[in-house]
């Protein structure tokens, strides 16, 4: 399991440039006019994780299979999208299908690139999109509440739960708060997720800055950071132009270029890490002579469900998991060394998988 991240933003904020760079394609036409991205473009990239390479080297794995993240470049949004302005309807339909939203905000000045609102103000830009999503959610909730009335008369318990959660969301939205600010109980989590509210999606604010500001950001990105922290959202500073240049270089050239720019790693790595943190995701590994492979799970996942990410039969017939922590695998120079050092553990159905665990599942097949 990887995850799908929708890249959104007002026109001309560098959204498609960033998408092109992240996916190392020119599939999204980056042009200086609104709506140059007419259809959502979808690209997959491998999630960078140096641990996987280290494990593969020790195990002599013939193949390395990283986990993958899907980026969806969504058509530029404008004020009035919730009413179908611009490409609003397309935008709203596509955004429902992603796990998280990477909201690209323009934090650079450039007289050659027009801004759809005629000014550079990332907080105002964020508000435009948030407002449109909130309006769309409120209209959707009001329609659903009307449709639920008939089922409620029949004593439908699920309908009663839906009505309660929808009213809770509507109350927050009418107070100017997105649905993601609502504390949802574990018992309600499944029903809540099925509502598919746009403003319930986790948000990662991506500050697109000028090339010479990529290392430290600027006053505009500082304001975005403050906003993100106040909202409990994620944030990352990136230069789409730099990422675009890096995507055209080989590994050695990219490393030299990053050094010249005062950067330790590509923005892609930071963006993916921030996305994982936002969604509470982590990675475990399976390692052997055939392949070393990374798997993505949510934090708190128990061993049988982690096994189920590989194949449903692994979860159904789960017996136990042989577990070695990543650091112990490296220190022991492989499974045999870790076993001899007493670092291989046998865990059962209640084991909560940790980030970096190297796992071998035993199951009834």
Structural domain includes residue 150? no
Is residue 268 domain-shared with residue 307, that is, in the same domain?
no
Task: Classify residue 55 as left (phi > 0), alpha (psi -120 to 50) or beta.
Answer: alpha
Closest CA to 182 of 191, 190, 194, 170: 170
Tell me whether residue 162 is in a domain.
no
* Residues 228-248 pLDDT 10s: 998 888 999 999 999 888 888
Q: Let me know whether 312 and 357 are in one domain.
A: yes
In 3-state terms, what secondary structure has residue 123?
A: helix
- Measured CA to CA, the distance from residue 340 to residue 361 in angstroms comes to 19
Residues 245 and 354 in one domain: no
Residue 173 confidence (pLDDT): 95
Of 278, 308, 333, at which residue does a domain stop? Answer: 278
What is the pLDDT, as a whole number, of residue 32? 39
- Among 246, 278, 310, residue at a domain's last position: 278
Q: With 90 as the cut, is the pLDDT of residue 342 above it? A: yes
| Residue 204 and residue 353 in one domain | no
How many whole angstroms from its chain centre is CA 45? 12
> Do 41 and 29 touch, CB atoms closer than 8 A?
no
What tens digit of pLDDT does each residue of 326-337 get? 999 999 999 999
- Residue 62 domain-assigned (yes or no): no
Lowest mean pLDDT among 79-93, 191-205, 314-328: 79-93
Q: Quick one: average pLDDT of 295-314?
A: 94
> What is the distance between the alpha carbons of residues 16 and 75, in angstroms, rounded to a whole number?
9
Rounded to an integer, what distance in angstroms lies between the CA atom of residue 91 and that of residue 98?
11
In-domain check, residue 144: no
Distance CA 249, CA 171 (A): 50
pLDDT averaged over the chain?
Answer: 86
Domain boundary among the residues 220, 243, 278 is at 278
Q: What CATH number corresponds to the domain at position 308?
A: 3.10.20.30
Residue 78 confidence (pLDDT) above 70: no
Mean pLDDT of the region 174-183: 91
Range of lowest pLDDT (12-26, 174-188, 310-324): 12-26
Whether 272 maps to a domain, the answer reads yes
203 lies in the same domain as 238: yes
Q: 343 and 245, same structural domain?
A: no
Buried b (16+ CB within 10 A) or exposed e, 12-24: bbbbbbbbbbbbe
Whether 190 shows a pLDDT value over 80: the answer reads yes
pLDDT, one tens digit per residue, over 26-75 is 343 344 334 334 455 788 888 888 999 999 999 999 999 998 888 888 87
State residue 265's pLDDT score: 87
pLDDT at position 30 is: 40
**Same structural domain, 247 and 349:** no
Predicted pLDDT of residue 2: 59
In a domain, 292, yes or no: no
Range of the domain at 205: 3-46+68-138+196-278
- Both 26 and 97 in a single domain? yes
CATH of the domain at 35: 3.40.50.300
Asked if 355 and 245 sit in the same domain, the reply is: no
Residue 32: closest CA among 17, 13, 12 = 12
- For the four alpha carbons of 316, 322, 323 and 326, in that order, the dihedral sign comes to negative
Sheet strands (E) in the chain: 3-8, 41-46, 63-65, 68-73, 100-106, 203-208, 234-238, 281-287, 291-298, 318-324, 345-347, 358-363
Q: Are residues 337 and 219 in the same domain?
A: no
140-147 average pLDDT score? 90
| Percent residues over pLDDT 90 in the chain | 50
Q: What is the pLDDT of residue 35?
A: 38
pLDDT tens, position by position, 80-109: 544 554 444 566 777 888 999 999 999 988
Q: Count how many domains the chain has.
A: 2
Cβ partners under 8 Å of residue 119, min gap 6: none
Residues 75 and 9 in one domain: yes
Residue 201 or residue 150, greater confidence: 201
Q: Is residue 267 part of a domain?
A: yes
Does 353 share its domain with 210?
no
3-state secondary structure 175-236: CCCCHHHCCCCHHHHHHHHHCCCHHHCCEEEEEECCHHHCCCCCHHHHHHHHHHHHHCCEEE
| The most confident of 17-31, 104-118, 278-292, by mean pLDDT | 278-292
Mean pLDDT of 137-148: 90
Range with the lowest mean pLDDT among 1-10, 177-186, 227-236, 343-352? 1-10
Residue 265 lies in a domain: yes
């Amino acid at each position: 399991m990887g995850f799908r991240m929708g890249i959104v933003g007002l026109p001309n904020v560098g959204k498609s440039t960033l998408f092109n760079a992240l996916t190392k394609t020119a599939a999204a036409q980056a042009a200086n006019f609104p709506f140059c991205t007419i259809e959502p473009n979808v690209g997959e990239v491998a999630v960078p994780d140096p641990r996987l390479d280290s494990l593969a080297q020790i195990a002599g794995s013939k193949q390395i299979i990283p986990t993958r993240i899907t980026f969806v470049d969504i058509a530029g949004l404008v004020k009035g999208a919730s009413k179908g302005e611009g490409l609003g309807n397309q935008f709203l339909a596509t955004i429902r299908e992603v796990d998280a939203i990477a909201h690209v905000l323009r934090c650079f000045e450039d007289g050659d690139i027009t801004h759809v609102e005629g000014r550079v103000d990332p907080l105002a830009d964020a508000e435009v999109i948030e407002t449109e999503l909130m309006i769309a959610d409120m209209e959707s909730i009001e329609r659903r509440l009307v449709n639920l009335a008939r089922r409620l008369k029949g004593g439908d318990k699920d309908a009663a739960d839906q009505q309660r959660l929808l009213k809770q969301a509507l109350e927050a939205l009418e107070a100017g708060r997105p649905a993601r600010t609502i504390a949802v109980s574990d018992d309600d989590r499944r029903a809540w997720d099925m509502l598919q509210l746009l403003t319930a999606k986790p948000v990662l604010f991506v500050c697109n800055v000028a090339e010479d500001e990529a290392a430290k950001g600027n006053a505009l990105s500082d304001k975005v950071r403050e906003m993100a922290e106040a909202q409990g959202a994620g944030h990352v500073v990136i230069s789409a132009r730099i990422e675009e240049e890096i995507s055209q270089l080989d590994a050695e050239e990219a490393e030299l270029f990053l050094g010249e720019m005062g950067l330790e790693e590509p923005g892609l790595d930071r963006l993916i890490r921030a996305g994982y943190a936002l969604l509470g995701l982590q990675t475990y590994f399976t390692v052997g002579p055939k392949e070393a492979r990374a798997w993505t799970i949510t934090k708190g996942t128990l061993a049988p469900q982690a096994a189920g990410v590989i194949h449903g039969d692994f979860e159904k017939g789960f017996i136990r998991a042989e577990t070695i922590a990543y650091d112990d695998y490296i220190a022991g120079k492989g499974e045999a060394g870790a076993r001899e050092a007493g670092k291989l553990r046998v865990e059962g159905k209640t084991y909560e998988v940790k980030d970096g665990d190297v796992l071998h599942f035993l199951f009834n097949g």
